[in-house]
Amino acid sequence: MAEKLLIVLFISMLAIGSIGLLLVPKESFSSIENRPLEKWPRITPETILNKKAMTQFETYVSDHFPYRTGWIKTKAFVEQVRGKKENNGIYLGRDGYLFEKVDPTVERQVDRQIREIETFAECYEEKSIGLMLIPPSAIFYEQQWPAFAPMADLVAMQRTIMERIPSRVTTYDGARMLEPYREQYIYYKTDHHWTTRGAYIAYAHYALQQGWEPINYEPVVVSEQFYGSFDTRGQFIRREPDRLERPVFNNESTLYIEDRNELRHTLYDEEALQQKDQYRYFFGGVHAAMQLKTPDAPIEEPLLVVKDSYAHALLPFLTAHYANIYVLDLRYYNGSVEQYMEDHHIDHVLLLWNTTTFLEETQLFKLNR
């Protein structure tokens, strides 16, 4: 009798969930997870045969299950009450720090990524090319790392990569640049990015390498309620917010977002401060291609920055020197990098990534097409 009751209850829950899936309004973006939700799959004979439609449908059902946000929060709360220090790939560390679980197998991608950098350097021997790799925060805060939690050897990983970069590429090792400042506020506690302060330190190294006098760091706090991507994924209780800063200096820059054909007269998006993803304050988020124009900057020669979102906190500092900065994100840019460089007369290139993003980047091949 009890088994029959359990079966009836299970079937009833499935029926209610299915009805709810049909009736509940669908959202396109999960603010709590900070990612787009799966769309209804495109059903064709081809997608049915290759099982792509079924895979997308399963993801669609998972993404749009009724009261999904509530279940995510409940799961996180239960896990933390149980004393678990990990949820959705995010570890709860000491002193309010959150860390991302780095898969040790990601190091297997080193050979492939180095080959792409080597090919790029060989193709543009006459160009000035720099590579800046910034490690994740866990490399500096091992004392805050939860006890017995597994972690890739980030120090060895960073060293291996930097040692294998072709000699004609000027390297900027984020681990070495930031190590002396580890006690300062150089990484967010709730987000995977470095802070504006951390970005300034790297910028100062870059400036000195170029023979420039770095501008002073004079920030203004734009938000004291910044909860980043680690907080969004981990959903731990009783966490403290980060503060978001931007530099202040006397120059006026415009931002042209190529993929939107949109011109803005500021590098910052004030509306983002009222949203969940406040890191979008820098440039309004991630774009395939951007142009930063600063007429009063002293260097007319254009700079191309190929990057991930770590560059967003550093780029404003570069506008104090370069009048023309072109920016590509290979995750979204599908054009020819070679043609882009030719069209914009590029002789100076800065490649800037977070180290784990660099290793996980599946679009790096676009650098050489």
Instruction: Say what the pLDDT of residue 196 is.
Output: 98
pLDDT score at 369: 86
pLDDT-wise least confident of 148-157, 278-287, 300-309, 354-363: 148-157
Q: Which of the four pLDDT bands, split at 50, 70 and 90, describes residue 223?
A: very high
Buried b vs exposed e over 176-188: b needs ≥16 C-beta within 10 Å? ebbeeeeeeebbb
pLDDT score recorded for residue 10? 46
* Average pLDDT over every residue of 291-308: 98
- Of the two residues 24 and 185, the one the predictor is more confident about is 185
Q: How far is CA 338 from the centre of its chain?
A: 25
Neighbouring C-beta atoms of residue 53, cutoff 10 Å? 18
User: Mean pLDDT lowest for which of 125-134, 170-179, 234-243, 254-263?
Assistant: 234-243
pLDDT number for residue 107:
81
> Cβ(162)–Cβ(173) under 8 Å?
yes
Given a cut of 70, whether residue 115 has pLDDT beyond it is: yes
Rounded Cα distance between 337 and 245, Å, is 32
Looking at residue 230, its pLDDT comes to 94
pLDDT band at 137; cut points 50, 70, 90: very high
Q: Please say if the pLDDT value at position 91 is more than 50.
A: yes
Q: How many residues does the chain have?
A: 369
Count CA atoms within 13 Å of residue 90 on its CB side: 23
pLDDT in tens, 41-67: 677 777 676 666 667 666 676 656 565
Q: Are 32 and 72 in contact (CB under 8 A)?
A: yes
The burial class, CB within 10 Å (0-12 / 13-18 / 19+), for 335 is: middle
**What's the whole-number mean pLDDT along residues 280-305?**
98
Give the chain's mean pLDDT: 87
Report the pLDDT averaged over residues 266-292. 97
pLDDT of residue 117: 97
Q: Which residues contact 71 (CB under 8 A, 6 or more apart)?
A: 65
- How far, in Å, CA of 222 to CA of 195, rounded? 13
